[in-house]
Structure 1
């Protein structure tokens, strides 16, 4: 609808401006979408830790942090799953060190084999 058709619908000159302003405000509200909120990992960790520490005071956390309760539950679940892998990293770190040592040993062996191949190529080229 344009302004003239909206003004024609109003019941008199005193209401025409009000109807037009209302329609324009409505159109602006429909065209501008709310932006999705992005939360930093630090904020998520803070909220999840508060959820873990809370003793039955779960209802106040969404109000305090202005976040939906389901989001807090998701962040708490993710944090608890992350804790499991955090404590398992000791074994993973030693495995990583073992792999690094193996890579170093294999690279040295490759160097030896390349030198041997080059030597044999020169010996048989005569």
Structure 2
């Protein structure tokens, strides 16, 4: 089965795993997914992730989800820019997520990063998703 939106698929897998209380989730591996997971790891939203090989020989990413006092750390994770509707934003127009308690993940010319780091480097780009 072909996945048309791999990052949207990753976010949905994380959201669904949190809803049923799983500690980890598997996702097909790609560089784009790994970059998004790097940002989530840097910002403390997941425990970590590892690259594995499934039983059919396909590369996968095993994401270790993070909980605090029984509640998931990621309360809401939402895809902003989709393949059918790309959303670009300059730094001055980029809104704060959840009054500064959440992050936007951006794809910039200097790589995938959180909005906090993008503001420090003064770079803009495509808004991939928002997390809080």
- With the length of structure 1 as denominator, give the TM-score of the two structures: 0.23
Identify the structure with bigger relative contact order (alpha carbons < 8 Å, sequence gap 6+).
2
User: Which one has a larger percent helix, Structure 1 or Structure 2?
Assistant: 1
- Higher Rg: 1
- With the length of structure 2 as denominator, give the TM-score of the two structures: 0.22
